Chains A and B, each alone.
Chain A
């Protein structure tokens, strides 16, 4: 059975005959919404976005309309709009498709958003590795400029806004919005402390700034097109619109699916969408929305009362509906929608070590708990996988993680701690078993690929 998709922002992704040039985009109704939007009042556009209930698609899930509402319009300083195209959360590869295949959708979404917030200038901060993506965007912006859709006096409206593509240089931390702002200012991507540095008041060049994810800005176009009220009817209460689920790891057919929030379950995504586990394998664990989200163990049960329906629920991982409310009830988050799937060939301790190595590499080094803690966890878990582990390493790992979360400037501390905090209690027995067996010189799970 195929999975039921509802393609809004992904409407033209992988479509036969669709190209990323402006002629194709206009032929498919492109830039009509921008024309309509430029005749409306900016505050009405902002109200539509607020009414839509759209939550940011960059990971944190903060309501976009609220973010815009916090903008300091009275400071008299210029306002900036920045698109976060740093897509660096492991497991996430949804924005890549939008940037490469439908760049004009992003440009239109950005120009509508820039007009709505009165931005003086806008930027796309794209990760350094997307070299061709940056070239595609630059070409697309020039096409749009030639048609007076970007730049000076857009569509004869007296409103002007330039759009600059700015490449990062391989630092994960620049996906954090204040780190991104520092990087855009030409510095190291050290996140800023909030308060006082909320971007909506003190952002780029200490001016009011909005940083939104690629998918979020593309959604804005569709919100203005169909109206905020109408958009809020898609999905579930508290999580409107669609989610792009990008599945990777050990399934038959990894891929991306745009799904109405709550319209299908994790099981349907993995079996109907991705063809289930590899031959002869069983699912063991999933990380639902990007590497830093809390891990779920296949077979565990989640029980409680659902706030939306008021009904009791009793779910296995496969029963969880794909919306951020339900995912939150299971102690994790849908976040970027980048799901990483592991089966029974995976050595969970090696997986842990792989994750810890990532955060140790990507900590910016500003805060001691994260800088020292992530390196320590990496050393510890690498040691545990190499046959030199001790039983007490397992609680020690958890102890270190507990001392990182909540003690850092930005959420990288939580990102590094959550995988450990969630995986250790769930897979502790396997870790201890492995430590014991490896001391006897046996390889723990010879069927899977090495992960460290």
Chain B
């Protein structure tokens, strides 16, 4: 399997840090999914061979955890929080609005392959509800009004490859203001 040299080095350094090789299953799944976009049969078999496991032992992990996927997704990955604190502040409406604007239902990818929307369970930022995680950035207080429209514009620009916000998540704190 083709992996970047950087990633292969990272993996080879990571495995010996664990007392038991098998513990590296989750991190390897993350790393390969980040590079390849999803976990294919080939990736799973590669991980199994690397860790001296049966492919089934990796499959059972891949199929258990919600963050692992077995198919490619859209260019921009949008996760809207569904759980109570966010729902009380309007996340069902926020999600509906995103679905209409981006042209895909929750759990699906748009036909142009640009967007995937997921309606996920609590992502632990409940005081700033509703929250939406776009790729690895967190957007807070995305109420179904104008705030969602602003985010939709940003998401569309992200799909065009533009860099939208320089700050990572947790932007409230001066340390993250960039």
Does residue A164 face the partner (Cβ distance < 8 Å to B)? yes
- Asked whether any CB of chain A lies closer than 8 Å to the CB of B73, the reply is no
Q: Does A371 contact B (CB under 8 A)?
A: no
B105-128 contacts to A (CB < 8 Å) = 120-128
The answer to whether B127 and A129 touch across the interface, beta carbons within 8 angstroms, is no
Interface membership of A167, Cβ < 8 A: yes
Known: A169-B29, A354-B87. A92 touches B124 (CB 8 A): yes
Residues of A within 8 A of B174 (CB): 16-19
From B12-20, B147-155, B156-164, give the one contacting chain A: B12-20
Interchain CB contact under 8 A, B168 and A132 = yes
Contact of A358 among B18, B20, B61, B121 (CB under 8 A): B121
Contact with A along B47-84 (1 / 0, CB 8 A): 00001000001001100111110000000000100111
A451 with B92, Cβ < 8 A, contacts A88-B122, A162-B17, A340-B85 known: yes
* A171 adjacent to chain B (CB < 8 Å): yes
Is A231 at the interface (CB under 8 A from chain B)?
no
Most chain A beta-carbon neighbours within 10 Å: one of B17, B66, B87, B125: B87
B128 touches A254 (CB 8 A): yes
Q: Are A96 and B61 in contact (CB under 8 A)?
A: no
Total count of chain A residues near the partner, CB < 8 A: 70
Enumerate chain B residues within 8 angstroms of A91, measured Cβ to Cβ: 84-85, 122, 126
Could you tell me the distance between the alpha carbons of A20 and B24 in the complex, rounded to whole angstroms?
Answer: 28
| B84 (CB) vs chain A CBs: closest residue | A354
Q: Which residue of A lies closest to B53 (CB)?
A: A186
Interface residue stretch chosen among A26-34, A108-116, A242-250, A374-382 = A242-250
A185 within 8 A of B: yes
Given contacts A162-B17, A169-B26, A171-B65, contact A14 B126 (CB under 8 A): no
Residues of chain A with a CB closer than 8 A to B17's CB: 162, 164
Residues of A87-117 contacting chain B, CB below 8 A: 87-93, 95-96, 100-101
**Chain B CB within 8 A of A184 CB:** yes
State the CA gap A93–B81 with chains docked (Å): 14
Q: Which chain A residue has the least Cβ–Cβ distance from B18? A: A164
* With known contacts A87-B124, A129-B133, A248-B126, A168–B65 Cβ distance under 8 A: yes
B175 interface contact, C-beta 8 A:
yes
Question: Does A256 lie within 8 Å of B127, measured CB to CB?
Answer: yes
Given A14-B172, A17-B174, A90-B121, residue A250 in contact with residue B27 (CB < 8 A): no
Please name all residues of chain A whose beta carbon is closer than 8 Å to the beta carbon of B127 when the two chains form the complex. 93, 246-248, 254-256
B18 smallest CB distance to A (angstroms): 7
The distance in angstroms between the C-alpha atoms of A195 and B30, with both chains bound, is 33
Question: 8 Å CB contacts to A: which residues of B163-178?
Answer: 168-170, 172-176
Task: Please name all residues of chain A whose beta carbon is closer than 8 Å to the beta carbon of B92 when the two chains form the complex.
Answer: 449-452
Majority secondary structure, A binding face = loop
The chain B residue with its CB closest to the CB of A16 is: B174
Q: Is B89 interfacial (CB 8 A cutoff)? A: yes
Q: Is B27 a contact of A346 with CB atoms below 8 Å?
A: no
Q: Are B83 and A358 in contact (CB under 8 A)?
A: yes
A305 contacts the other chain (Cβ, under 8 Å)? no
Residues on the A chain within 8 Å of B175, using CB? 18-20, 101
Interface presence of B23 (CB below 8 A): yes
Q: What residues of B have a CB within 8 angstroms of the CB of A100 in the complex? A: 169-170, 173, 176
B103: interface (CB < 8 Å):
no
A219 beta carbon closer than 8 Å to chain B: no
In the assembled complex, how far is the CB of residue A357 from the closest CB belonging to chain B, in whole angstroms?
8
Chain A residues with CB below 8 A from B60, complex form:
187-188
Judge whether A186 and B24 touch: CB under 8 Å.
yes
How far is the CB of B92 from the nearest CB of chain A, in Å?
Answer: 5
| Residues of B with C-beta under 8 A to A186 | 20, 22-26, 51, 57, 61
Instruction: Tell me, yes or no, whether B129 is within 8 Å of chain A by CB.
Output: yes
A168 and B87 alpha carbons, distance in the complex (Å): 24
Q: Is the CB of B124 within 8 A of A128?
A: no
- Asked whether any CB of chain B lies closer than 8 Å to the CB of A291, the reply is yes
Q: Looking at the assembled complex, report how far the CB atom of A173 sits from the nearest CB atom of chain B, in whole angstroms.
A: 9
Cβ B84 vs Cβ A340 within 8 A: yes
Chain B contacts for A248, CB-based, 8 A: 85, 88, 126-127, 129
Q: Taking the complex as formed, is B37 at the interface, i.e. its CB lies under 8 A from any CB of chain A? A: no
A-B contact pairs, 17 of them (CB 8 A): A18-B174, A89-B122, A93-B127, A100-B173, A127-B124, A183-B26, A185-B22, A186-B23, A187-B60, A187-B61, A188-B61, A189-B65, A254-B129, A346-B88, A354-B87, A355-B84, A451-B84
A contact residues vs B (CB 8 Å cutoff): 13-14, 16-20, 78, 87-93, 95-96, 100-101, 121, 127-132, 162, 164, 166-172, 183-189, 205, 246-250, 254-256, 287, 291, 338, 340, 342, 346, 351, 354-355, 357-358, 361-362, 364, 448-452
| Other A-B pairs beyond A20-B175, A187-B61, A291-B83, 12, CB < 8 Å | A17-B174, A18-B175, A88-B122, A90-B83, A90-B122, A91-B85, A169-B66, A170-B66, A186-B22, A247-B127, A255-B127, A450-B93
8 closest pairs, A vs B, by CB?
A186-B25, A169-B65, A248-B126, A170-B66, A248-B85, A186-B22, A170-B67, A90-B122
